[in-house]
């Protein structure tokens, strides 16, 4: 469906929440190293990610490796450094929605090279950013909303049982 990309994530519960969302949407999660935590089996279980085995997960050794192997024209870069609101982006099934680490965001050089692909979530003046898992959910579900008619929900939704 969609590709969710986390560049050097630092906080395991954020990645866990995002992984859970990816499983529920049949999305692929791309993690770009270095990670701020260990995703070995024991660490994953401690973080409560018992569904981790269901996740379509790709781990990249570096941002350069990821960028060389994936189409930049299908990427949207989430940042607080643009005025382009995320709902104005034209999301397509198969797109990559890229989020930076909790502490650094998406690298500045990558944003500058792709200004037309940068997106932001509007926020009030009292805060400087939203939680990574929250931001990922907001943007990904907008992408889902935009593509609702072209998605086969029978493959991903659990039917309601009365």
Work out the number of other CB atoms within 10 angstroms of the CB of residue 73: 9
Residue ranges with strand state E in the chain: 3-7, 28-32, 56-60, 75-78, 96-99, 118-119
Please give the model's pTM, rounded to 2 decimal places.
0.90
Q: Are 43 and 52 in contact (CB under 8 A)?
A: no
User: Rounded CA gap, 3 and 104, in Å?
Assistant: 21
* pLDDT, tens only, 46-85: 554 667 788 999 999 999 999 999 999 999 999 999 999 9
What is the percent of the chain where pLDDT is above 90? 67
Domains of the chain and CATH, by start: 3-155 (3.40.1280.10)
User: Rounded CA gap, 6 and 30, in Å?
Assistant: 6
């Amino acid at each position: 469906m969609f590709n969710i990309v986390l560049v050097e994530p630092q906080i395991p519960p954020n990645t866990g929440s995002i992984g859970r969302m990816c499983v529920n949407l049949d999305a692929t999660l791309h993690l770009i190293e270095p990670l701020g935590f260990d995703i070995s089996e024991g660490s994953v279980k401690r973080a409560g990610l018992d569904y981790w085995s269901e996740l379509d997960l790709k781990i990249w050794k570096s941002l350069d490796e990821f960028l060389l192997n994936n189409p930049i024209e299908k990427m949207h870069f989430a940042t607080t450094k643009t005025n382009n609101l995320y709902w104005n982006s034209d999301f397509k099934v198969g797109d990559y929605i890229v989020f930076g680490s909790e502490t650094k965001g998406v690298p500045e050089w990558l944003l500058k090279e792709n200004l037309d692909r940068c997106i932001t979530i509007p926020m009030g003046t009292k805060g400087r950013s939203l939680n990574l898992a929250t931001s990922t959910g907001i943007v990904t579900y907008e992408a889902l909303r935009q593509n609702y008619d072209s998605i086969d929900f029978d493959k991903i939704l659990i039917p309601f049982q009365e």
